[in-house]
């Protein structure tokens, strides 16, 4: 069966453009957030791998002006509004935790990660890197997330996926695997959603 050609200007791309959203990925977090009622007014949310800002736009809208959204990525993110603070940071750098603490000292109601490795084309390598990035996000959800809070991380299926899901299960009361509608056909990515973080 022939694969459908990759169409960068697909339905979700056009829809994002029409709605003034920076990336088609905005629809992924919007769908997940609605499905599980993730964000509420006044919450503090960390968005890792936030460029160009599609997730940030949705989250900022849902937490409102009284909320706080922190976005980090390896590339700069154009400013978004008074309740969004962004920085160019490498989440795997030794000083990342200190830098993040300097940006926001409080606890997060949700930790969201759309981090993805620069793909090498070697599936096992890419899966391992994907797990490592998601693992960093989970570590922050445990150390900086509120009890009762939530966690969302993008992952490539395969490799140690089951092992990682069990780690999320140990930290959260409920864990869901979601493949949002806006995910491209041939993509092996899914999102793991952890609901209601357990007390340590």
Active site residue ranges: 154
What's the N-to-C CA distance of the chain in angstroms? 49
Cis check: omega of the bond before 52, within 30 degrees of 0? yes
- In angstroms, what is the C-alpha Rg of the chain? 16
Q: Which residue has the tokens 């997730």?
A: 55
Helix intervals (H) in 78-119: 96-103
Q: Would you call 113 exposed, middle or buried from its count of C-beta atoms within 10 A (0-12, 13-18, 19+)?
A: buried
Q: Which residue has the tokens 């509608």?
A: 181
Compute the distance between CA of residue 188 and CA of residue 200 in angstroms, rounded to an integer.
32
Compute the distance between CA of residue 32 and CA of residue 102 in angstroms, rounded to an integer.
29
Q: At what angle do helices 26-36 and 11-18 cross, to 10 degrees?
A: 90
Strands 145-156 and 189-197: antiparallel
């Amino acid at each position: 069966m022939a694969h459908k050609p990759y169409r960068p200007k697909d339905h979700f791309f056009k829809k994002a453009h029409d709605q003034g959203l920076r990336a088609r990925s905005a629809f992924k977090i919007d769908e997940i957030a609605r499905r599980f009622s993730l964000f509420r007014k006044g919450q503090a949310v960390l968005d890792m791998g936030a460029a160009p800002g599609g997730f940030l736009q949705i989250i900022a809208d849902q937490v409102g002006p009284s909320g706080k959204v922190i976005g980090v990525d390896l590339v700069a993110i154009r400013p978004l509004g008074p309740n969004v603070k962004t920085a160019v940071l490498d989440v795997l750098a030794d000083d990342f935790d200190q830098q993040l603490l300097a940006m926001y000292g409080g606890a997060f109601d949700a930790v969201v990660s759309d981090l993805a490795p620069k793909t090498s084309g070697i599936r096992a390598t890419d899966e391992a890197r994907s797990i490592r990035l998601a693992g960093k996000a989970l570590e922050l959800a445990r150390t900086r997330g509120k009890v009762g809070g939530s966690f969302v991380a993008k992952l490539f299926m395969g490799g140690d996926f089951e092992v990682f899901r069990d780690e999320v299960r140990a930290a959260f009361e409920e864990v869901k695997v979601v493949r949002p509608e806006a995910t491209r056909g041939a993509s092996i990515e899914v999102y793991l959603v952890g609901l209601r973080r357990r007390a340590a």
